[in-house]
Structure 1
Amino acid sequence: MPELPEVETVVRTLRKLVQEKVIASVSVTLPRIVRRPDDVEAFKAQLSGQMIRQIDRRAKFIKFVLDRDVLISHLRMEGRYGLYQADDPVEKHTHVIFHFTDGTELRYRDVRQFGTMDLIPLGMELEMEPLAKLGPEPLDEQFTLPVFHTMLKGRTTKIKPLLLNQEFLVGLGNIYVDEALFRAGIHPERPAGKLTRGQVAKLYDSIIATLGEAIEQGGSSIKSYVNGQGEMGMFQQSLNVYGRADEPCNVCSTPIVRMVVGGRGTHICPKCQK
């Protein structure tokens, strides 16, 4: 599933491709992708005539800010967007097409069909699902070290499942939690509230550095992720532990170990993360 760096990369690409385009009409061939409104015909009618004013990200969600509404899109496992000319052949598994007045089309393709779209009145998007209960953004200036320390205080949950909880802190998935914990030298099963102040500081810096570097490299293309122009991310070449079971640690040469923490496949260096 795309994590914060991948979604941020898609957002930045889409801004260049479709911002300020006007939607003439919308085609939907898989109605269950549209969750709100529950009438897909109303969804299509509401979007018609609106301009895409801005494209933003909240957690792992893409926000298309329109004239009257905000379209909130979650890519889930394999959702992807691409800009096409109207006469270009439509690929299999293309489920939603936004037809623009200039003759181009933004097409949403989703092989696994797990993606979602919610159309919410402008100004109410942060008060309604799916954005209402999300935690702070790790790259937001309001997410400071003292704030992070307070968030962890007294928590008995293992640190990895806690970091994966989107109501605690958004945007982090399996890849970047494993990488951040490795950089900080913290075992994923350590209770969050037992981290020392020094470990909290290291983890805070590691989260921000890992996400920042991943965004610079366009995210990680582990399976099928590409941005809105079909380009792969390159951060997978910089991964220290994720997906590297039995390979030598880049720091100490100890073989990387794969284990299960909180039901999720987890990669660690047993020497660097005691």
Structure 2
Amino acid sequence: MPELPEVETTRRKIEPLLVGRILTRIEHDAPHKYTDTHKAEGRTVTGIGRRGKYLLLQLAAHEAATAGEHSEDLELLVHLGMTGGFRLEAGPHTRVTLHTDQGAIYFNDARRFGKVAVVRRGEYAAFPTLHNMGPEPLSEEFSEAEFVKAAASAGAVKPWLLSQKPVSGVGNIYADESLWTSQVHPAQTRLKPAEARRLYTAIREVMTAAVAAGGSTLGDGTYRQHDGEAGAFQVQHHAYARAGEPCERCGTPIAKTVLAQRGTHFCPRCQTLKPR
């Protein structure tokens, strides 16, 4: 948490709050963690993109800025970590404050796993997950043929999805949901073409529905938008966090195990592990 649907919802919500505004100062107390943020000061936010679970704020030099460092093509990269999010007021977990010419917006992060950094546009070598990330699940670049081909030789499918290499933005929640929808066991290896095609379709369907619902707000309530609004997709979960509850397809209790150090939910009847 947050995963692609939550980050995309965040992008849409903060876009009108930041695009067109000048970042006058970026305030924090951890320069080793929030890196090169001073380079964004004096620049205008011209757009906000997203890649997987990362927000990418495009920056342009202010018209009155001098040449030199301000001529660099930069972007402000934000990763929400597990508990990161933006708010309109400072709080006990505020880590970074983005001061603009029209007010401030606050990045809160209770568990401090979030990242904020200024980089040259498109240069992500310092962020290996982003640098090596696969295609966006709702884009034309996410090819069914290529996904099916790669899945045929993959190891356990859930850790493979979580690596971000076959497709971007799928984390613990949406991996469980996509695997339940496609009836593929989370530990299944070397998917058959029919299994991979079902999973490909499920990923696109689950992500589309989750984005439309504004993502998932879980019981801890850590994911909310700057205005306090929660996501609504959690009421559509079929597997994630439903251990012991009946499978909505066959009635078998949903099981929970640990796979690649992640809590993993699945139906032991609908999602059988096949020897390969």
TM-score, normalization by structure 2: 0.88
> Match for residue 175 of structure 2?
177
Shift of 1:129: 2.8
Conserved 8 A contact 1:33-1:113? no
Q: Give a deviation string over 1:190-209, Cα, whole Å, max 9, x none.
A: 10x2x222111111110000
* Divergent runs of 4+, >4 A: none
Report what 1:214 is aligned to: 210
What CA distance in whole angstroms lies between the structure 2 residues aligned with 1:151 and 1:138?
Answer: 15
In structure 2, the partner of 1:30 is 30
Alignment correspondent of 1:137: 136
CA distance in structure 2 between the partners assigned to 1:154 and 1:248 by the alignment: 32
Partner of 1:99: 99
Q: 1:83 aligns with which of 88, 99, 103?
A: 88
Verify the 8 A CA contact 2:88 2:105 in the aligned structure 1: yes
| Aligned positions of 1:38-77 closer than 5 A | 43-44=37-38, 46-67=39-60, 68-77=73-82
Which residue number in structure 1 is paired with residue 264 of structure 2?
Answer: 266
The 5 A counterparts of 1:241-256 are: 241-256=239-254
Letter in 2 for 1:146: A
Contact kept? 1:137, 1:143, Cα under 8 Å: yes
Unmatched tracts of structure 2, length 5 or more: 61-72
Q: Distance between the aligned counterparts of 1:172 and 1:182, measured in 2? A: 14
TM superposition shift of 1:269? 1.0
Whole-Å Cα distance in 2 between the matches of residues 25 and 263 of structure 1? 39
Residues 189, 261 of structure 1: 8 Å contact kept:
yes
Q: Are the counterparts in 2 of residues 17 and 83 from structure 1 also a CA contact under 8 Å?
A: no
Structure 1 gap segments, 5+ residues each: 38-42, 85-89
The one of 178, 195, 200 equivalent to 1:199 is 195
Distance 2:196 2:25 in 1: 50
1:236 aligned onto 2:229:
no
Q: Which amino acid aligns with 1:101?
A: D
| CA distance in 1: counterparts of 2:240 and 2:125, whole angstroms | 35
TM-score, normalised to structure 1, is 0.89
Contact 1:77 1:115 in 2 (8 A): yes
Tell me which residue corresponds to 1:40: none
In 2, distance between residues paired with 1:72 and 1:116?
8
Mapped contact 1:13–1:229 kept (Cα < 8 A):
no
